[in-house]
Amino acid sequence: MAEPAVPLGEAGIAREQRFWSHVDRSGEGCWPWLGSRSKEGYGKCDRLYGSSFAHRCAYAYAHGAMPDGLVVHHRCGNPACVRPGHLELQSNSEHVRNHKAPGNRCKHGHEFTPENTYIAVDAKGREHRLCRACGAQRARAYRRERGLVGSAQARQTHCKRGHPFDEENTYRYQGKRICRTCRREAVRRMRKSP
């Protein structure tokens, strides 16, 4: 069944303006969807008749309703992109063929280049291509959740015994600042104990 045409009138215009307010149109390339996304990286939006993928909404706002039997394809390969110039209609069989071809982007739109790609082997011995940029984002989120980045220690100017965290008195170990004076005192205490 074809999707209903984009509603006209004040309600339709307000809905379209709200849709485009969730799009980052600042770049020359893709326009990523800033709202919620599916686990595959596709933007999700609400329409009058229910929810839909953002790229389908963008195509409908730019070109009108989609005919039966056709799907919207990302020519750029970025599932979060909603730029109308990067979207085209294809038959379902053509779309499936394009998706079976090896992709050049991860599900979040990062390009698979030699510098941004690593191969991981799972427990069954299968190789998987992974994105380094996504891995770095997950690692930052993990550290942020556990207080390892931007923590109270990062804002402190002195250690808990009052020694300054300056260049001469500070070194880093496993991402944390260590007070050299406190460390020397701890080593002395360990040497004195029997």
Contact 56, 66 (CB under 8 A): yes
Nearest to 64 by CA among 14, 26, 37, 72: 72
Residue 3's pLDDT is what?
A: 47
One digit per residue, pLDDT tens: the chain, 194 residues? Answer: 444 444 445 556 778 888 889 998 887 888 999 988 888 888 888 765 566 889 988 888 888 888 888 888 888 888 899 999 999 998 877 776 666 555 677 877 788 888 888 888 888 877 788 889 999 888 888 877 766 655 555 667 888 889 998 889 998 887 788 899 999 999 998 888 76
pTM > 0.85: no
What is the enclosing helix (H) or strand (E) of 129?
Answer: strand 127-131
Residue 93's pLDDT is what?
A: 74
Nearest to 56 by CA among 68, 43, 75, 39: 43
What does DSSP say about strands 87-91 and 50-53: parallel, antiparallel, or unpaired?
unpaired
What is the enclosing helix (H) or strand (E) of 155?
Answer: helix 152-155
CATH classification number, 9-104, choose in 3.40.50, 3.30.70, 1.25.10, 3.90.75? 3.90.75
Nearest to 115 by CA among 136, 144, 142, 98: 136
Cα separations in angstroms, 13 against 50, 64, 139, 185: 17, 14, 41, 69
Task: Give the chain's largest Cα–Cα span.
Answer: 86
Phi and psi at residue 154, in whole multiples of 5°?
-65, -25
How far apart CA 70 and CA 89 sit, in angstroms, is 6
Domain ranges of the chain: 9-104, 110-149, 151-192
Residue 98's pLDDT is what?
A: 66
What angle, rounded to 10 degrees, do the helices at 54-63 and 9-20 form? 130
